[in-house]
Amino acid sequence: MQARWEHFEHQADIGIRGFGTTPAEAFEQAALAMTAVVTDPREVRPEQEVVLRCAAANLELLLVDWLNAVLCEMGARRMLFGRFEVDLAGTRLTGRAWGEPVDPARHRPAAEVKGASYAALRVARGPDGLWVAQCIVDV
């Protein structure tokens, strides 16, 4: 199995889910799933690198903090990110995101993600051996 991401249905918002062979890889894929709510991440050029750091009491809370840190940087810098790298040391995360300024004509933003929530929050190893990192994002 390869690392991947997907969306899942939720009444009013959108569920995002990242899969990976490690929790860090699942976090990377969850961030890509969040980007894909806005635009196709493959269309985002890796022109600029941004370093993000966060820490939390457990991996589930860390996922929400990570995704919200990514959203904060997207909003503050008016950028989209299409590539992520996460390093986990327990419940401390150092991440890197690569992206470019939003180009509405090229990126055609479909929605604005307002924040990652605690709804449907889960970080765990599945029966297939892959880690899953998921939550609902507010749009």
The 48-55 sheet, strands edge to edge: 48-55, 92-101, 79-89
Domains and CATH numbers, the chain: 19-132 (3.55.10.10)
pLDDT tens digits along 82-120 = 999 999 999 999 999 999 999 999 999 888 999 999 999
| Residue 7, pLDDT score | 79
pTM for the predicted model, two decimal places? 0.92
Percent of all residues in the chain with a pLDDT value above 70, rounded to a whole number: 96
pLDDT of res. 5: 83
**What mean pLDDT is reported for the chain?**
94
Q: What are the strands, taking DSSP E only, across 4-77?
A: 4-8, 14-20, 48-55
The residue with greater pLDDT, 68 or 2, is: 68
